[in-house]
Structure 1
Amino acid sequence: MSETPLPGGFVNAVVRVGDTVRRVPGPRAAFVHHLLRLFERHGWAGAPRLLGLDEQGREILCFVAGHVAWEEGQPDDVTSDESLARVAGLVREFHDLTAGTALAGDGEVVCHNDLSPKNTVYRDGGAGLRPVAFIDWDIAGPGRRVHDVAHVCWQYAGLAPGADPEEAARRVRVICDGYEAAGRGAVVRREVVPGVLWWQDRCRRGIEADARAGLPHAVRLRAAGVVEQVRAAHDWVARHRGVLERGLS
């Protein structure tokens, strides 16, 4: 069958073949495969199903139909409060599914560690586009709930230069409220903004280190100006930290 390249990937070439997606397994493929099978056993539809490996050794995943928000300009539905709350609810669902499992190890849960609109599939069920699944689980691993929540706040609430601090703080609160409403127990809100800053610093340093080592994906990211963008986002959050934290108190 013919192969159609799918857009958006900096690290891995991904193609669609019929109703499947093919991609080269990442270095932590065994862990990710166990995780995807756990989701399947529980009937959770928020991640692709793993179907095996093809003759080239690539992963075969079911194609999750919908709108992937990988471009900068997006429909209003993608950035609506309803979508923010549903993103947080989906995160809560897979966190709760993995809490206490062998995959979570010493962590609270398994974290996705790369949640963003670009790794989210949206679908219109009659009330506008809403998130239905996350893709690209390559760097998932044991962690704390607040780590993923902080990453969601950074990526989905638009915590970067050009944002209105008060509106950004309100959107962060919508995310935290949505996470808490989807399960029992609260997120540690005092750790959310420090978690955003930690992620931004870690991301920038990671790209810089990998680019110096000559890793192709990091070289491309650096050339695209991502290091400067992340540094600017970190500076923006640090400058408006008080507003963001007051919005969560």
Structure 2
Amino acid sequence: MSDALSGAITLSGGRMTEGVVRVDDSVRRPVTESSAFVADLLKIFELKAFKGAPRYLGQADGMDIFSFLPGEVPARFQVWEDGQVSAAGVLLRAMHDATRGSKLAGRSPVVCHHDAGPNNAVFVDGVPTAWIDFDTAAPGSPLEDLGYAAWTWCIASKCTVPVERQAEQVKILTDAYGLQGPERGAVVDAILEQQARNARFWTELMASPETSPAEAEVLASRIVWSRAELAFTAANRPVFEGALA
């Protein structure tokens, strides 16, 4: 181990990237094909004074270096309070606004995180204050992130919370984000697309076991879960659309 990595603390929780460590007040991740894009994105956030993301500090020893954000990252999805859901919506909107009109967004409205779930949020005193893990960030529509966030922050097929209450939290998230007009009618479609996309993602990994980040049994369980979430949302579509109307 190099002197720079002596005393490194392994950070667990990531499903796709291994070898992430904390060194003092920095986090280091192996360089990937997305490293250059992520570096440029975090520089935009810094330029726009968006504080809800790590700062990019450069590269060393084949590792990207980011500032460490104090706080807690949830180990699993759970039922969130309205204030936490609302804060996530505000944070998502601020992140998108920081990228509007940027070269990275290109012809798309914004740069999307594409994995803006609670598992990629840093909580301080119980409130989500920052996003981490931007490896899947890319130009896109705000509805892509909003659909995924509405799903992962508000909806759960196996949850004992009534679907009407889940729909209310989807509205809370959407209101906090500030989505207005006809686009509100597309939120449920966006949720369904992200659930279907998740099922496809894990199915594609299942087809390439030699490069998969998880065992076949784990992948199979994620596929089953994604499909169950999709079926639940589709069956209760009128409830979710009614809450957003």
- Partner residue, 2:124: 123
* Aligned partner letter, 2:185: R
Matches within 5 A, 1:85-164: 85-124=86-125, 129-162=126-159, 163-164=161-162
Q: Which runs of 5+ in 1 are unaligned?
A: none
How many corresponding residue pairs? 237
Q: Does 1:64 align with 2:69?
A: yes
3-state SS of paired residue (1:11): coil
Which 4+ runs in 1 deviate beyond 6 A? none
1: distance between equivalents of 2:68 and 2:101?
A: 29
On the 8 A contact 1:221/1:227 being kept in 2, the answer is no
Q: Aligned letter for 1:216?
A: S
What is the aligned partner in structure 2 of residue 247 from structure 1? Answer: 243
SS of residue paired to 1:139: coil
Q: Deviations over 1:41-79 (max 9, x none)?
A: 122110111111122x11111110001112356xx7xx1
Does structure 1 retain, via aligned residues, the 8 Å contact 2:9–2:22?
A: yes
Which amino acid in structure 1 is aligned with residue 130 of structure 2?
A: A
Residue 201 of structure 1: aligned partner? 196
Matched AA of 2:158? P
- Distance in 2, matches of 1:89 and 1:147, equals 16
Query: What is the distance in 1 between the residues matched to 2:231 and 2:170?
Result: 17
Q: Displacement of 1:15 after TM fit?
A: 1.1
DSSP 3-state at the match of 1:245 = helix
Give the secondary structure class of the aligned counterpart of 2:213: helix
CA distance in 2 between partners of 1:50 and 1:23 (Å): 11
The 8 Å contact of residues 167 and 243 in structure 2, kept in 1 or not, is answered as yes
**How far apart, in 2, do the equivalents of 1:187 and 1:149 lie?**
15
Q: Which amino acid aligns with 1:166?
A: E
Q: Distance in 2 between matches of 1:187 and 1:115?
A: 23
Task: Give TM-score, length-normalised by structure 1.
Answer: 0.90
Mark the CA change 1:195 to 1:23 in structure 2 (over 3 Å): closer, same or farther: same
Distance 1:138 1:237 in 2: 27
Asked if 2 retains the 8 angstrom alpha-carbon contact of 1:48 and 1:135, the reply is yes
Q: Is the 8 A contact 1:179 1:187 kept in 2?
A: no
Task: Find the partner of 2:169 among 139, 160, 171.
Answer: 171
Q: What is the match of residue 48 of structure 2?
A: 42
Q: Return the match for 1:210 from 198, 205, 210.
A: 205
SS at match of 2:12: coil
Letter in 2 for 1:42: K
Q: CA deviation at 1:220?
A: 6.0
Identity %: 33
Alignment partners' CA distance in 2, 1:80 and 1:207: 29
Q: Could you tell me how far apart the structure 2 residues matched to 1:31 and 1:224 are?
A: 31
CA distance in 2, matches of 1:224, 1:9: 18
Q: Distance in 1 between matches of 2:55 and 2:47?
A: 10
Secondary structure in structure 2 of the residue aligned to 1:89: helix
Distance 1:21 1:86 in 2: 24
Q: Counterpart of 1:235?
A: 231
TM-score after normalising by structure 2: 0.91
Equivalence for 2:39: 33
Point out where structure 2 has 5 or more consecutive residues left out of the alignment: 1-5
**Equivalent in the alignment of 2:23:** 17
